[in-house]
Amino acid sequence: MSQQYRSRPLGSDVALSEAYDTALLDLDGVVYAGGHAIVHAVESLGSAREGGMHLAYVTNNALRTPDAVAEHLTELGVPAEATDVITSAQAVARLMADQLPSGARVLVVGGEGLRVALRERGLVPVESADDDPVAVVQGFGGPDLPWGRFAEAAYAISRGAVWFASNTDLTIPGARGIAPGNGAAVEVVRIATGAEPQVAGKPLPPMHRETVLRTGAKRPLVVGDRLDTDIEGAFNGGVDSLLVLTGVTDAAQLIAAEPRYRPTYVDRDLRGLLTGQPEVSEDGDGFRCGGWTAGVRGEVLVLDGEGDAIDGLRALCAAAWTHAGEGACGLDARKAVARLDL
């Protein structure tokens, strides 16, 4: 970023799909949830692609292979090739290959995506701590992952195996709501062993490195629904980001965000790729966006006006982030957020 901390969402005179050459799209909570396409996702991505934007799908979910993800996207109406998909399994496999000898045995706690990625890097997946693994890798294994897999990881780590994790997302969005993610499973092994894993996925540098190597993006825009993975990953990588409100982040969390979690742009869903972004401007002691004006009175965020609710949220972000500076905003925003009915 060009400033030490972002004090407001930025505007754009042109559609984001024109301003950036590549969209680095998260999947769960952005393109689909629970296997079903999120509203407006298919048509928005199609229009962005037809306009010349390269679409890459960057996911912390290590369960499925890039082939399987691309097939699923194509079935949903979003044509994709395996080379368009970058997973945390690929990122952690590269991280491991940089440290382990070719042919090293690795105990896998997770799904087929991890096994395929390890083999691509010359590493050998094994299933038991008794197979003498030199490392353990843990990734999301789906709702049916047996509890005994955590025990195998604990046994191997206690015998000296190096521990890696694809990612540490505590939750994952699904069709029925928010479910425990790989980070919750990592905590089980952490508690049992007292060890700390090396982590590859968003928001950490190994995932950004993997994404840049595989996409060749020159002007990337990270598109995500999570502040603590997608947006922080963009911040760490020094690239711009778009937060969409179709996943786990709500308005109150966004308003309270400290600098590393503040996106460049905010929009309701992926239609935001196809439009410019309105400017948030200073207005007296507050900030205006569209028909809304937001400011601070005492310890309360206030919002006046009417119009598009997302414009109101942008104005609130400007007021809150400016007030908070380099910290997190602790102002009471409940009444202001309730006015937006997001």
At 113, which helix (H) or strand (E)? helix 112-120
Number of CB atoms found within 10 A of residue 5's CB: 16
Task: Write down the catalytic residue from 13, 21, 28, 225.
Answer: 28
Task: Exactly one of 21, 26, 131, 304 is catalytic; name it.
Answer: 26
Contacts for 8 with CB less than 8 Å, ≥ 6 apart: 280, 287, 314, 317, 318, 321, 322
HSE value, Cβ hemisphere, 13 Å, CA-based, for 108: 24
249: alpha, beta or left, given left = phi > 0 and alpha = psi -120 to 50? beta
CA dist., res. 230 & res. 168, Å (int): 12
Q: Are strands 36-37 and 162-165 parallel, antiparallel or unpaired?
A: unpaired
Over the range 301-312, which residues count as b (16 or more CB within 10 Å of their CB) and which as e?
Answer: bbbeeeeebbbb
* Closest residue by Cα to residue 73 from 33, 31, 39: 31
Q: How many residues does the chain have?
A: 342
CA distance 339 to 319: 16
Identify the bridge partners of residue 173 per DSSP, sorted by sequence position: 178
List phi, psi (to 5°) of 334.
-60, -45
Return d(Cα 57, Cα 55) in angstroms, integer. 7
Q: How far apart are CA 285 and CA 121, in angstroms?
A: 56
Sheet containing strand 124-126, edge to edge, reads 124-126, 105-109, 135-138, 162-165, 198-199
Q: Is 28 an annotated catalytic residue?
A: yes
* DSSP H or E segment with residue 209: helix 205-215
- Which helix (DSSP H) or strand (DSSP E) does residue 338 occupy? helix 334-340
Catalytic residue list = 26, 28
